């Protein structure tokens, strides 16, 4: 393990790490928005009783996957945020 990499490979690895880090932050924002939502009990109830294929849409419709700096919801964040919220319900 170890060794050298080309600058192109190093940049690619750095870009991947940055994207993963950014998504982790957005998932945390999504969860925080869900916990702060007065309608969370109803929405989490819908999430827990619905088919897994609509979880992403429920989270996006609730507005939880919409970041304060972006007017559009993030699908990948919605999916992982929904999974995290459901795991916390168990």
Instruction: Please give the pLDDT value at position 62.
Output: 97
Backbone angles phi, psi at 73, to 5 degrees: -70, 155
The pTM of this model reads 0.78
Instruction: Please give the pLDDT value at position 4.
Output: 75
Question: How many other C-beta atoms lie within 10 A of the C-beta of residue 66?
Answer: 19
Instruction: Please give the pLDDT value at position 27.
Output: 94
Low-confidence ranges of the chain (pLDDT < 70): 1-2, 5, 8-11, 13-20
Helices (H) and strands (E) in the chain, counts: 4, 0
Six-digit token pair at 53? 């294929």
List CB contacts of 26: < 8 A, sequence separation 6 or more.
Answer: 65, 67, 74, 77
């Amino acid at each position: 393990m170890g060794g050298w990499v080309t600058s192109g490979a190093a940049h690619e690895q750095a870009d991947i790490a940055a994207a993963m880090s950014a998504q982790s932050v957005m998932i945390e924002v999504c969860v925080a928005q869900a916990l702060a939502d007065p309608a969370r009990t109803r929405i989490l109830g819908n999430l827990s009783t619905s088919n897994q294929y609509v979880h992403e849409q429920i989270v996006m419709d609730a507005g939880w996957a919409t970041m304060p700096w972006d007017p559009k919801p993030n699908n990948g964040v919605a999916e992982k945020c929904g999974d995290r919220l459901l795991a916390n319900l168990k």
